[in-house]
Structure 1
Amino acid sequence: MRDTYVVRWYVLVLPSCHKGPANGLREELERRHRNGEPLFEYFAPSYVEMKKRDGGFVETRRPLLYNYVFIHASEHEIYRMKQWLPQYNFLPRIKDGKHEYHPYLSEEAMTNLQWVADSYSNVIPVYTPKPEQLIKGDRIRITEGRFKGAEASVIIQPGAGKRDVMVCVENYMWVPLLRVQPGQYEVIALNDDGKHIYTRLENDRLLSKLHEALGRFCRQEDGVTEADRQLAAETVQQYGNLRMDSDIMRSKLYALLLPAYTITGNRQESKKLIGTLQAMLPLIKAEQSRALLLTTLYGCTNNCLYHTQAHEIIDKWRQEENPKKSKQQLIRRLDDYDRWLGH
């Protein structure tokens, strides 16, 4: 009898005809809040779905776990609530020796589930780089309009008095990309021509200090310092307008900028850069560049998808007899994020 009053994360199920969010629980919580009655927590995770409609993309949210919801309350409280919300039902009881109980999640398991669900809900599944974010030498495929299906190379970027991005459609003609709107093309390859001096982006001292500052950001209880914010702002000022021609160099650049934006709290630039990285990742073939971006994304977003993908690459390096310095740095960095973020 005493267990019926213990507050746990119980699993409730809705009839299969219910495909929307847990509106009943939301309305009941709002009613209690208005009337000053005891409140409860519930968790009904969703994910972002992008659909193309009328030539553009429309974002909607769908239930991640179909018709399951989780409520943080006692059995007694849930049975009382079911008088007004009969559509919410417990899963069948589980027998454990002489004891029976409704399925529930431990606090630790729920924390992990919320982390996973949050990673899906924050993903930007469709991202098309705007013309000004393309680099000379990038290859695109036009997906809509009169040039649909044609592949092209970016040959002129904005700047130096030029407003249009010019692309050369293979065996056809030069076309201003300004006439091909975002959503009407996709990037199919990044420019990997040209050699650049690596030293400017291989600044171990700067990388180390940004990593330490991001650690204070992740741990929260320490809090970023004014020196951390100043370092991040200087990093953005120094590197924010650099344009790199290869995916390797862009990976190094973005691994500096994303922590800097995160530390300064610049959510708009962080979100924009995360979208750019999501568009880049499928195109990057160099293993270390992928590992660098995935590790950086994980540390800056605490997203379980990047956590898993980074570990898939980096954990193999731990078996190497003598991994090179750059691999050792990424191994340590990933271990730090796991420790700081509690994974």
Structure 2
Amino acid sequence: MSIIERSDKSQAWFAIRVTYSREMLVKSYLDGIGIENYIPMHTAVRTYNGTSRKVWEPLVHNLIFVRTSAGELKRIKSESALPIRYIMNRETNTPTVIPEREMQDFIAVVATLNEHVEIVPPEAVDLSSGDRVRITDGPFRGIEGVYIRHKGHSKVAVAIRDIATALTAYVPAKFIEKLMTE
């Protein structure tokens, strides 16, 4: 039995790939039918005809996170003409489901709009060498992730499976609490 059949009614976060940078079109459609979704966004400076201006754009193109039931997402995918595909879990060959806490921490890091927050591919950082931690103070208070050194700075990495890793801005060691491993 697939994940789609097992969890037909329960809500979960799914990672969805959108083609041709049409993530805002998909977001608009999902917003219109009341489906919770999230696109990591940031301000970028773009130059058009020699004039620079700030634009609000997706931080990771072609990616949208959707919170709904598997059955509802399957229905949307089959009944609409939306340019979407599931991002599949390589181990189970089922659509990637993101745990609620992991998604909320990822959103909290990106939503600070701190210019030093980065989203990097999962292979760009070695999470196996870091400690599992919670940030106790500052703008990232309450975030749980892996304490790492990246480009010479202490950061906390919040990974979303094989999809993306959000890195906080510098976090002082005094704001870090090591979590006990189970």
**TM-score, length basis structure 1:** 0.32
Q: CA deviation at 1:94?
A: 4.4
Matched, 1:88 2:80: no
Deviations 1:245-273 (A, max 9, x none): xxxxxxxxxxxxxxxxxxxxxxxxxxxxx
The answer as to whether partners of 1:10 and 1:70 remain within 8 angstroms in 2 is: yes
Match of 1:109 among 87, 102, 111: 102
Q: Measure, in 1, the Cα distance between the counterparts of 2:50 and 2:31.
A: 39
Q: Measure, in 2, the Cα distance between the counterparts of 1:85 and 1:122.
A: 35
Q: Measure, in 2, the Cα distance between the counterparts of 1:58 and 1:10.
A: 33
Q: CA deviation at 1:48?
A: 1.2
Query: Which residue identity is paired with 2:40?
Result: P
Match of 2:115 among 120, 123, 134: 123
Structure 2 runs not aligned, ≥5 long: 117-136, 143-166
- Which residue of 2 is the match for residue 59 of structure 1? 54
SS of residue paired to 1:8: strand
Q: CA deviation at 1:57?
A: 4.2
- Which residue of 2 is the match for residue 6 of structure 1? 10
- Which residue of 2 is the match for residue 317 of structure 1? none
**TM-score, length basis structure 2:** 0.56
The answer as to whether partners of 2:15 and 2:97 remain within 8 angstroms in 1 is: yes
Q: Measure, in 2, the Cα distance between the counterparts of 1:41 and 1:12.
A: 13
Matched, 1:73 2:75: no
Q: CA deviation at 1:101?
A: 2.8
Q: Measure, in 2, the Cα distance between the counterparts of 1:22 and 1:4.
A: 26
Q: Give me the identity figure in percent.
A: 15
Q: CA deviation at 1:59?
A: 0.5
The answer as to whether partners of 1:64 and 1:117 remain within 8 angstroms in 2 is: no
Q: Which has the higher contact order (CA 8 A, sep 6+)?
A: 2
Q: CA deviation at 1:95?
A: 4.7
Label 1:27 to 1:46 Cα distance change in 2 as closer, same or farther (>3 A).
same
The answer as to whether partners of 1:20 and 1:62 remain within 8 angstroms in 2 is: no
Label 1:52 to 1:2 Cα distance change in 2 as closer, same or farther (>3 A).
closer
Label 1:9 to 1:40 Cα distance change in 2 as closer, same or farther (>3 A).
same
- Which residue of 1 is the match for residue 158 of structure 2? none
SS of residue paired to 2:67: strand
- Matches for 1:285-296 after TM superposition, within 5 Å: none
- Matches for 1:318-333 after TM superposition, within 5 Å: 331=174
Q: CA deviation at 1:107?
A: 0.7
Q: Measure, in 2, the Cα distance between the counterparts of 1:54 and 1:2.
A: 52
The answer as to whether partners of 1:94 and 1:102 remain within 8 angstroms in 2 is: no
Query: Which residue identity is paired with 2:97?
Result: Y
Q: CA deviation at 1:93?
A: 5.2
Query: Which residue identity is paired with 1:76?
Result: G
> Would you say how many aligned residue pairs link Structure 1 and Structure 2?
129
Label 1:2 to 1:19 Cα distance change in 2 as closer, same or farther (>3 A).
closer
- Which residue of 1 is the match for residue 37 of structure 2? 42
More helix by share: 1
Label 1:54 to 1:89 Cα distance change in 2 as closer, same or farther (>3 A).
closer
Q: Measure, in 1, the Cα distance between the counterparts of 2:90 and 2:9.
A: 18
More strand by share: 2
Deviations 1:121-159 (A, max 9, x none): 4539xxxxxxxxxxxxxxxxxxxxxxxxxxxxxxxxxxx
Q: CA RMSD in A?
A: 3.5
Structure 1 runs not aligned, ≥5 long: 33-38, 125-213, 220-302, 315-330
Label 1:2 to 1:55 Cα distance change in 2 as closer, same or farther (>3 A).
closer
Query: Which residue identity is paired with 1:109?
Result: E
Q: Measure, in 1, the Cα distance between the counterparts of 2:83 and 2:97.
A: 18
SS of residue paired to 1:24: helix
SS of residue paired to 1:22: helix
Larger Rg: 1
SS of residue paired to 2:44: strand
